[in-house]
Structure 1
Amino acid sequence: MILALILTPARAEQVRKAVKEHGEVVFDQTGKMDSPGIRNAFQSAARVGADTLIVDIDAGPGPDLAAALRGYRIARPYVRIILLAPGRQPGDAAVATLVGLGVYDIIDGPVEADWGDLVTQALASVPATYAQAARWHIIRGLSGEEQVKEKVVIEQRPMGVVTIAVTGAAPGLGCTHTALAISAFLARQGHNVALVEDSQELVMLDYLNVIGAGDGRVEGARRIKGFDVFPGDITGLTEERGTGFIFDRVLPALREGNYQYVVRDLGFVDSTRIREALRSNLAVLVASAARWRWGDLVKVENLSSFRLALVAPGGREAKEVQKIPEVKAYVIPYQPDPFNIPGESHAELLQPVLPRSRQEKKLFWVRFRVAAATSKRPSA
């Protein structure tokens, strides 16, 4: 078997050891690549005659990786492509796009899994078919058994990097939980996302170490569930803990990572954090809908500038908060695991900064219609 590899540093060593017993590696590209980098990697891989290509979905930005793989598929239509999709779940937009390009061997699992063992199992199995990959595929244009007419859809995307600030009306309301959930939701939509921990209580580094999070797209970042995390205790910045915000100090890394969305976990509100939140494209305030906690909202300056995320409120309580003048409140269902919250609630909460689609209206050529009508007139 002749193999080609396009991998991230987090899984490269495990995969290399696993493939030694299955054949010869004729192309090996490892790294967190930008748009030109991932395109060049696939173009180089297409120049060698491999039987199997193993690709890590985190090796490059989702849309750019899909475009590069499309070119590879045209050049090498019969190569078996095995996709490593750590932390991804069925319905993931990036994976669905690749399935549409004929990538059916999809290896999923937690980031901390033994990827060498998973690759060994895949290579020892017969190539997968669409029937096995169908659970990952989002089919647009079908409604039940009835096929609808194809529509031309144009996405209107926010310009530049979008910053979303998440802060709590009081300690302990779930600011970090909500920031993680928002980041995971955006990553599932195929966006490049970074989460920056600017909370008063720095807990992210311990959490990342416990779950064995891999390396991120840039130095200092860790990767979970398809997005990067910059923990507050990031190496080299701990001596300044408690002074300023890490966001300002990781700006060069954020630019290098070409992130489309940056989510800031600001902790619970104070005057400084309110100012930071209002610097963002979208300010989210995590609050309780309980009447006895309404005093938390009264203390927040410029409350009308925030979108309230009410985490698991009672139905009546949520409606009462939503009646408050100039307050935009949205209900987030209770879910202990921030990565399993239904996307509909976050889509509504984040609507102002999400890509919007509009149907392109079909053009009617008046001149042609007039000419055609004229040609049908009987001659005098």
Structure 2
Amino acid sequence: MLISVIASDEIKNSLNDVGNVVFHYNEMLQQQNIKDVFYSLSRINTDVLILDLDFVNSKDFITVLQGYRIARPHTRIIVIINNRVAGDQTIATIVSLGIYDIVTNKEAVKEVVFSPPATYTQAARWHTGEFLNFGVHDKDNEKGIVGEINIAKRQIEGIVKFLGESYNCRNLNEGLLKIEQLLVKEVLYEQDY
């Protein structure tokens, strides 16, 4: 088994009898180096990537991890987390990328590598379910959208009135068309003089 490790030397050493560690990075992943590290990592065909979130300090982390996931879809990713609680946004996003092997105890990494890959059922507690309400109507949000449309209609009526006509705007598209017609008429009228 070929293993890549972005974690401490202790974790790397604990995996020596599990397989061959072909990539090891034990420094903090910062904004300036995270893309380079994951680019190098994506060029190596490994079976397992073990990633300790204590070594990540970059706002680009999720984007870079997603890119790695796309480049190496069959690599099993095991994420080590410390001091995180269920509903943590970073962990929830990791789970939404299809990464279900979430380890809270660094000593358990070796056992997780030997076990079958985790399923969504095992990782569901980390997922906030933020995406589960997609398509559900929110009445407050709906009122906000309707309010914005009504404001836009009143603005159109004001512009039309400024151009010298009265107009009751019932549809935004018709209102914008009316403004366009009046502006064209105004421009053509000015050209006659």
Q: TM-score, normalised by structure 1?
A: 0.36
Q: 1:1-380 residue pairs with structure 2 within 5 A? A: 1-7=1-7, 12-61=8-57, 63-109=59-105, 115=106, 117-143=107-133, 147-148=135-136, 366=173, 370=177
Deviation per CA, 1:296-337, whole angstroms, max 9, x where unpaired? xxxxxxxxxxxxxxxxxxxxxxxxxxxxxxxxxxxxxxxxxx
**Distance in 2 between residues matched to 1:28 and 1:13, nearest whole Å:** 8
Whether the aligned pair in 2 keeps the contact of 1:6 and 1:41 (CA below 8 Å) is: no
Distance 1:365 1:48, change over 3 A: farther
Distance 1:18 1:368 in 2: 70
What is the one-letter code of the residue matched to 1:104? Y
Q: 1:367 to 1:71 in 2, by over 3 A?
A: farther
Distance 1:42 1:69 in 2: 8
Shift of 1:30: 1.4
Bigger strand fraction? 1
| Aligned mates of 1:27, 1:365 — CA distance in 2 | 58
Residue aligned with 1:36, SS: coil
CA apart distance, 1:101 = 0.8
Hey, what's the Cα distance between the residues in 2 that align with 1:149 and 1:52?
41
Offset of residue 149 of structure 1: 5.2
Task: Name the CA distance, whole Å, in 2 between partners of 1:55 and 1:38.
Answer: 12
Check whether the contact 2:95–2:123 (CA below 8 A) recurs between aligned residues. yes
The structure-2 alpha-carbon separation of the partners of 1:68 and 1:368, relative to structure 1 and needing over 3 Å to count, comes to farther
Q: CA shift at 1:369, angstroms?
A: 7.8
Please identify which structure carries the higher helix content: 2
Task: For 2:24, give the aligned amino acid.
Answer: D
C-alpha spacing 1:368/1:66, structure 2 compared with 1 (3 Å): farther
Q: Deviations over 1:76-129 (max 9, x none)?
A: 1111000000111211111111111111000014xxxxx2x3111111111001
Equivalent position SS for 1:142: helix
Report the residue type matching 2:22 in the other structure.
V
Change (3 A) 1:24 1:148: same
Q: Any conservation in 1 of the 2:29–2:58 contact (CA below 8 Å)?
A: no
> 1:4 and 1:149, CA in 2 relative to 1: closer, same or farther beyond 3 A?
farther
Query: In the TM superposition, what is the alpha-carbon distance from 1:365 to its structure 2 partner?
Result: 7.2
Separation in 1, partners of 2:40, 2:16: 21
**Structure 1 unaligned spans of 5+:** 110-114, 151-357, 372-380
1:61 CA drift (Å)? 2.6
How far off its partner does 1:58 sit? 2.2
The structure whose Rg is larger is: 2
What's the offset of the Cα at 1:36? 2.3
Asked if the contact 1:63/1:94 (under 8 Å) is kept, the reply is no
- Is the 8 Å Cα contact of residues 76 and 117 (structure 2) preserved in structure 1? yes
CA distance in 2 between counterparts of 1:136 and 1:99 reads 7
- Determine the C-alpha separation between the residues in 2 that align with 1:368 and 1:59: 56
- For 2:167, the equivalent position in structure 1 comes to none
For 2:173, the aligned partner's letter is V
CA-based RMSD of the aligned residues comes to 2.9
